Amino acid sequence: MTRLVTTVEEMQALRESARVEGKTVGFVPTMGALHEGHLSLVRRARADNDTVVVSVYVNPFQFGPQEDLQRYPRDLPADHKLAGSAGADFVFAPTDAEMYPAGFQTYVEQFTLPKRLCGRFRPGHFRGVLTVVLKLFHIVRPTRSYFGQKDYQQSVVIRRMAGDLHCGTEVVTLPIVREEDGLAMSSRNRYLGVRDRKDALCLSEALVIGEAAIRNGERKASAIVDAMRERIGRVKRARIDYVACVDPETLAAVKTVEGTVVLALALHLGKTRLIDNRLVAP
Amino acid sequence: MTRLVTTVEEMQALRESARVEGKTVGFVPTMGALHEGHLSLVRRARADNDTVVVSVYVNPFQFGPQEDLQRYPRDLPADHKLAGSAGADFVFAPTDAEMYPAGFQTYVEQFTLPKRLCGRFRPGHFRGVLTVVLKLFHIVRPTRSYFGQKDYQQSVVIRRMAGDLHCGTEVVTLPIVREEDGLAMSSRNRYLGVRDRKDALCLSEALVIGEAAIRNGERKASAIVDAMRERIGRVKRARIDYVACVDPETLAAVKTVEGTVVLALALHLGKTRLIDNRLVAP
């Protein structure tokens, strides 16, 4: 049976028991509304470790005032069941009061990475992500932590934090899981109506176009980005945040493709913000 | 023999050995130039724990561009010996390259505490302190960590961080150690010339005057601060950063003394910045 844990204290005590028994701990932090992307992380954590912890916590600190915190999908009983089916031993689902008690005021930030890509459009977002992930690292003390490549920038900032601060957990990033037609899985896909769902294909298709351009020998980033923008432009209602070709480590825009790059994009369809990316080695 | 450790990796391996053996670890982070204040922390760590680690690291990230990073006193052989005489098992003295490798960019910050008192005059200082202390916590994984009350604000921001982020170390603050005439011990006292040394008594004497005012029934913070300022004013060359009567937890200025307060002050004598404080329960 997968045990539901709701307090920091209980989670720490369970983690300490695992430590005493010499067990490795795999950790999958999530905001719930679990889909196959999350479950692929849980299964890998199960395969790699003695104990698997999945956290389910919609972290208010990483949402902007105009964002979808209130309507973000929440279904803990379903998540509990899904996490269990993929091999979780513990589902850690703390309350806001448990995570951010009165007087809370410490946060983690980075100088440049959070200002790139999504960070330009979601000020404070990565501060919130870094802070909650560090807190969760301290509570769960994982041997290995698993993140999806779907949130590419997130995986980079967390890997950087883990190294810079000596967090003592191995950060593992696993490939994007897609629907049959190519749409990257996301908890926010639940927001999509029929028309949105069809239009949303422009993200993955633009990335395929960008990759093809590189495979065909294009090295000028601006030409690659233009080709991707052309595909998105066919969806008139898509409001683009960015379409970018960036360095996989620094996330800085690349002018000429020389090594591996990340093609990344973010756009809005109605009230829903969608992101996708693709690592391409020329 | 007290072992000198200079790499993060070796320190982590030694800490892991202590863990396997079930030993508790006491930690005293310092910037070196050890004096009796530091040694009182080491002795207490020795009494409380199986293993004692003293770090000696002049953290560049907590110095402002106009501050005394370059001339800050450094004498590792002497510190090594002193730490050993007080009971340290390990002296951890990493290089800057070890602590801040190329590309380093993660830091820890707080919303309000670092803006009070010294933080108003040393922007970025507590960011540097919090970041290096968190890194050291991750490397040393101490059961208990020891700080001097001399750096009162530092002890408050670190205690807050340890709680907010679940750092898993008990933060212990120990009393200020003073010279016979009352001057609070500080590595920066080495900068003081004969005249400075005499003038520097105005700090501890102002605090005694402030405390006496409270003991005599004064409850108006402005009157208490004025009495302290009057004493400092007798040293014409003293350049005051602040003289304050604050809440011991939030560090916010108090108007009327109702519970315990901290009397705190900072001033410059020539090129040397000195601080001191006193906890007073009415």
pLDDT at A149: 98
In A, minimum Cα distance to B100 occurs at: A164
Task: Provide the number of CB pairs (under 8 Å) joining chain A to chain B.
Answer: 70
How far, in Å, CA of A175 to CA of A180, rounded?
A: 15
| CA distance, residue A164 to nearest chain B CA (Å) | 6
Question: DSSP string spanning A37-66?
Answer: HHHHHHHHHHHH-SEEEEEE---GGGS-TT
Flag whether residue A130 sits within 8 Å of chain B, measured between CB atoms.
yes
pLDDT per residue as tens digits for the range A95-139: 999 999 999 999 999 999 999 999 999 999 999 999 999 999 999
pLDDT at B45: 98
Structural domains for chain A:
3-174 (3.40.50.620), 187-275 (3.30.1300.10)
How far, in Å, CA of B6 to CA of B281, rounded?
A: 43
Of B54, B60, B63, the closest CA to residue B30 belongs to B54
Mean confidence (pLDDT) of chain B:
97
Question: DSSP string spanning A73-134?
Answer: ---HHHHHHHHHHTT-SEEE---HHHHS-TT--EEEEESSGGGSTHHHHSTTHHHHHHHHHH
Cβ <8 Å between B134 and A165: yes
N- to C-terminal Cα distance for chain B? Answer: 46
Pick A166's closest partner by Cβ from B8, B110, B130.
Answer: B8
- Average pLDDT for B165-193: 97
Q: Model's pTM, two decimal places? A: 0.97
Cβ <8 Å between A106 and B161: yes
Contacts (Cβ under 8 Å, ≥6 apart) of B79: B30, B32, B33, B34, B54, B56, B91, B93
Question: DSSP string spanning B199-254?
Answer: HTHHHHHHHHHHHHHHHTT--BHHHHHHHHHHHHHTSTT-EEEEEEEE-TTT-PBP
Of B162, B45, B184, the closest CA to residue B110 belongs to B162
Confidence of residue A74 (pLDDT cuts 50, 70, 90): very high
Flag whether residue B103 sits within 8 Å of chain A, measured between CB atoms.
yes
Flag whether residue A12 sits within 8 Å of chain B, measured between CB atoms.
yes
pLDDT per residue as tens digits for the range A22-32: 999 999 999 99
Cβ <8 Å between A165 and B139: no
A38 is catalytic: yes
- Average pLDDT for A1-15: 97
- Structure-token pair, residue B278: 């006193």
Cβ <8 Å between A112 and B135: no
- Average pLDDT for B155-174: 98
pLDDT per residue as tens digits for the range B205-252: 999 999 999 999 999 999 999 999 999 999 999 999 999 999 999 999
Pick B111's closest partner by Cβ from A105, A160, A167.
Answer: A105
Q: Give percent of chain A with pLDDT exceeding 90.
A: 99
| CA distance, residue B107 to nearest chain A CA (Å) | 5
Flag whether residue A13 sits within 8 Å of chain B, measured between CB atoms.
no
Task: Phi first, then psi: give them for residue A16, nearest 5 degrees.
Answer: -65, -40
